[in-house]
Structure 1
Amino acid sequence: MRIYISADMEGVTGLVDADDVQPGGRDYERGRARMAEDVNAAVRGALAAGAAHILVNDAHGPMRNLLPEALHPAARLVRGRPKQLGMLEGLTGEYDAVLCVGYHSRAGAPGVLSHSFMGHEIEDMWLDGRPVGEIGLAQATAAALGVPVVALTGDDTACAEMTEWDASVATVPVKYARDRFAAELRPDTEARKAIEETVTAALTPAPRRPARSAAGATLAVRWQSASVARTLLGIPGVTADDPRTVRATGPLPALYRQFGVWMRVAASLTNQPPYC
């Protein structure tokens, strides 16, 4: 069994603030160690279920958060950027399941460190008219490759968002949001035991693959800046809904890759910190 882990950071056990998850933050080094512990719990759970190959993609921010020496030796690591598939780099139809570790809720949700990909630069996103963030877009892209997302860890709002998007996915709330930068925390040992046991259960028996579809999807994004939206109109196939909202239609995962280009354009035009 081949398992793919997409590891974000905002939904990691114990982390609640930008200083926990941004390089240079006063608690970032501690945060990246905690990220490795959550990922390692998922790796142990996958191994207990019989995984023979595990690939971990460091999917947060600079994508150099996980220290190779801190990762379980049974897992391989994809580290650094740019990556054509961003948070799903390396995922192919050869994998049997996806685990999303340390994920967070979408922009506007009352969850810990909630946002969609780019802090406050992205105000809203929709996939086929349905509100979406990193969770839903990851699930839809994996499904398009024929690989099921079987488990997700994060705060309770991220877990609820995953359940709303796909109720078949097992979730592990490692903390309970009190506000965007505050949470009630589960004890470390309890949270990581829950991650390990939930992953094992989610992979036993081997998960069923979703039916792959050749149908296209439509992604719409409302940006904070009208200049970002206006610039993106120079990309063939991108159209405007209003001065700050653009959309494009195409098959996943190609549409996911194109969205990565949109974000690089936005980053070149703006200079905002991600959690303001």
Structure 2
Amino acid sequence: MRIYISADMEGVTGLVDADDVQPGGRDYERGRLMMAQDVNAAVRGAVAAGATDITVNDAHGPMRNILPEALHPAARLIRGKPKHMGMLEGLDAGHEAVLCVGYHSRAGELGVLSHSFMGHEIEDIWLDGRPVGEIGLAQATAAAIGVPVAVLTGDDRACAEMADWDASVTAVAVKHAKGRFAADLRPAEEARTAIEEAVAAALTARRTPLATPSAGSTLAVRWQSASVASTLLGIPGVTATDSRTVRAHGALPALYRQFGVWMRVAASLTNQPPYC
């Protein structure tokens, strides 16, 4: 059984602040170890369910957060950037399930460290007219590839967002949001035991992904900067709905990959701290 883990950081056990998740932050070194421990709990659960091939994609920020020596030896690590598929780099139809570890709610939600991909630079995203963030895009793209999301871990708001997209996904709340930079934390060992047990149970009861429309999808993004939107209009197929919002139509996962190009363009034009 081949299992794919997309590992973000904001939804990791115990982490609540930018200093916990950004390189150079006063608690970042501790945060990256906490990230590895949540991932390792998921790996242990996958192994218990019979997984023989486990890929972990470091999907947060610089994508060099997990120390290779801290990762469970049963897993391989995809590390660094750029990656054509970003948070889903390495996922293919040969995998039997996706595990989203340490995920967070979308921009505008009152979840711990909530944002959508680029902090303040992205104000809103819509997939087929529906507000979406990293959780919904990951689920929709994985489904288009043919792989179900089996488990998501994060705060309670992230778990609720996942349930809105696919209620059959097992969601593990490792903390309860009290604000964007505050949470009621679940004890670390209890949280990791819950992750391990949830993964083992979900993978034992494997399922098929939700059906994805074959006609393609429309992705729209509202940027903080009109200059980003204007520049993106140079990409064939990208159109404007207003001075700061662009959209494109296409099939997932190709549309997800194109969105990664949009973000690289935006990063070249801006220098916004994610959580200021």
TM range (shorter): over 0.9
Does residue 1:83 correspond to 2:86, yes or no?
no
Residues 85 and 260 of structure 1 are in contact (CA less than 8 Å); yes or no, is this contact kept in structure 2?
yes
Structure 2 match to 1:67: 67
Q: Which amino acid aligns with 1:215?
A: A
SS of match in other structure, 1:203: helix
Q: TM-score, with normalisation over the residues of structure 2? A: 0.99
- Please give the residue correspondences for 1:121-270 in structure 2 after superposition, counting only pairs within 5 Å: 121-211=121-211, 213-270=213-270
Identity of aligned residues (%): 81
In structure 1, C-alpha distance between the alignment counterparts of 2:211 and 2:239, rounded to whole Å: 29
Q: Which amino acid aligns with 1:61?
A: G
SS of match in other structure, 2:204: coil
Unaligned runs of 5+ in 1: none
In structure 2, C-alpha distance between the alignment counterparts of 1:210 and 1:129, rounded to whole Å: 19
Q: Which amino acid aligns with 2:140?
A: A
Structure 2 match to 1:54: 54
Q: Which amino acid aligns with 1:113?
A: L
- Matched pairs, number: 276
Q: Return the offset for 1:72.
A: 0.3
In structure 2, C-alpha distance between the alignment counterparts of 1:206 and 1:21, rounded to whole Å: 32
In structure 2, C-alpha distance between the alignment counterparts of 1:244 and 1:211, rounded to whole Å: 32
Q: Return the offset for 1:206.
A: 2.6
Structure 2 match to 1:27: 27
CA RMSD of the aligned region, Å?
Answer: 0.8
Deviations 1:115-138 (A, max 9, x none): 000000000000001100000000
Structure 1 match to 2:41: 41
Residues 147 and 210 of structure 1 are in contact (CA less than 8 Å); yes or no, is this contact kept in structure 2?
no
Q: Which amino acid aligns with 2:147?
A: V
Q: Which amino acid aligns with 2:71?
A: L
Deviations 1:236-267 (A, max 9, x none): 00000110100000000100010000000100
Q: Return the offset for 1:218.
A: 0.5
Q: Which amino acid aligns with 1:120?
A: H
In structure 2, C-alpha distance between the alignment counterparts of 1:132 and 1:209, rounded to whole Å: 18
SS of match in other structure, 2:77: strand
Deviations 1:37-64 (A, max 9, x none): 0000000001111111100000000000
Q: Return the offset for 1:211.
A: 4.1
In structure 2, C-alpha distance between the alignment counterparts of 1:132 and 1:175, rounded to whole Å: 22
Q: TM-score, with normalisation over the residues of structure 1? A: 0.99
SS of match in other structure, 2:32: helix
Deviations 1:168-206 (A, max 9, x none): 100000000000000000000110000001111111133
Q: Return the offset for 1:209.
A: 4.0
Q: Which amino acid aligns with 1:150?
A: A
Residues 145 and 212 of structure 1 are in contact (CA less than 8 Å); yes or no, is this contact kept in structure 2?
no
In structure 2, C-alpha distance between the alignment counterparts of 1:234 and 1:262, rounded to whole Å: 11
Over 2 Å off, 4+ runs:
205-215
In structure 1, C-alpha distance between the alignment counterparts of 2:129 and 2:197, rounded to whole Å: 35
Residues 44 and 196 of structure 1 are in contact (CA less than 8 Å); yes or no, is this contact kept in structure 2?
yes
Unaligned runs of 5+ in 2: none
Residues 149 and 209 of structure 2 are in contact (CA less than 8 Å); yes or no, is this contact kept in structure 1?
no
Deviations 1:49-97 (A, max 9, x none): 1111100000000000001100000000000000000000000001000
Q: Return the offset for 1:213.
A: 4.8
Structure 2 match to 1:107: 107
Q: Return the offset for 1:146.
A: 0.4
Q: Which amino acid aligns with 1:53?
A: D
